Amino acid sequence: MTDAEAVHDAPGVRYAPDRPLPLHPLVYLEEGDEVTVGRPDIDSYGIFPPDGAEVLRRLEQGMPPREAAAWYEARYHESLDIDDLIAALDELGFIREPGGTDGADADGSGVGGPGTGKAGTEDAKGATVRWQRLGAALFSVPAWICYGLLVAWALVLMARRPDLVPRYHNVFFTDYYTVIQAALFVVAVPQLLLHEGFHALAGRRLGLRSRLRISRRLYFVVLETSLDGLVAVPRRKRYLPILAGMLADVIVTAVLTIVADLTRDPVGGLSFAGRFCLAFAYAVLLRILWQFSLYLRTDLYVLVSTALGCVDLHGTAMRVLRNRVNRLLGRRHRLVDESDRHPVDRRVARWYSWLIVAGYTVSLTTFAVAIAPIVYRMFAGVIGRFTGHGASWPELLDSLVFCGFILGQLIVLAWVSVRDRRRARAQRLDHVIA
pLDDT tens-digit readout, 276-318: 999 999 999 999 998 998 888 889 998 998 888 888 889 899 9
Residues 140-158 have a mean pLDDT of: 97
C-alpha torsion sign, points 106, 112, 114, 115: negative
CB 328 within 8 A of CB 364: no
- String of b and e for 181-218 (b: at least 16 CB within 10 Å)? bebbeebeeebbeebbbbbbbbbbbbbbbbeeeeeeee
Q: Which amino acid is at 205?
A: R
Best CA proximity match to 35, nearest among 17, 60, 55, 9: 55
Q: Report d(CA 65, CA 55) in Å as an integer.
A: 9
How far apart (Å, rounded) are the C-alpha atoms in residues 173 and 189? Answer: 19
Which residues are CB-neighbours of 127 under 8 A, at least 6 positions away? 104, 108, 110
Give me the mean pLDDT over the 194-222 stretch.
Answer: 77
Where exactly are the structural domains of the chain? 1-129, 131-290
Query: Distance between CA atoms of 53 and 152, rounded to whole angstroms?
Result: 48
Residue 366 confidence (pLDDT): 92
pLDDT digits (tens, 9 = 90+) for 19-33: 888 888 887 877 767
C-alpha 145/C-alpha 241 separation (Å) is 18
CA dihedral 373, 369, 153, 189 (to 10 degrees): -60
Helix (H) / strand (E) element for 47: namely strand 44-48
The sign one gets for the Cα dihedral 196, 250, 188, 136 is negative
User: If you ran DSSP here, which 8-state letter would residue 42 be given?
Assistant: T
Residue 99 has pLDDT above 70, yes or no: no
pLDDT grade, residue 152 (50/70/90)?
very high
What percent of the chain is modeled with pLDDT above 70? 85
Host H or E run for residue 27:
strand 27-31
pLDDT value at 110 more than 50? no
Rounded distance between C-alpha atoms, residue 65 and residue 86, angstroms? 9
Tell me what pLDDT residue 122 has.
44
Task: Say whether pLDDT at 216 is over 80.
Answer: no
The predicted pLDDT at position 433 comes to 62
Residue 39 has pLDDT above 60, yes or no: yes
* pLDDT score for 58: 86
> What contacts 179, CB < 8 A, 6 or more positions away?
398
If pLDDT is split at 50, 70 and 90, which confidence band does 258 have? very high
b (16+ CB within 10 A) / e for 251-287:
bbbbbbbbbbbeeeeeeeebeeebbbbbbbbbbbbbb
Q: State the pLDDT at residue 236.
A: 87
d(C-alpha 31, C-alpha 310), whole Å: 12
Q: What is the pLDDT of residues 423-433, one digit of tens each?
A: 878 777 765 66
Angle 15-18-20 (CA atoms, 0-180°, nearest 5)?
60
In angstroms, the Cα distances linking 385 to 1, 86, 183, 396, 402 are: 87, 72, 22, 7, 12
Of 142-156, 342-356, 399-413, 420-434, the one with minimum mean pLDDT is 420-434
Q: Is the pLDDT of residue 222 over 70?
A: no
The pLDDT value recorded for residue 378 is: 92
The mean predicted confidence, pLDDT, of the chain is 82
Residue 220: beta bridge partners?
217
Range scoring the smallest mean pLDDT among 105-109, 129-133, 216-220, 369-373: 105-109
Phi and psi torsions of 166, nearest 5° = -60, 130
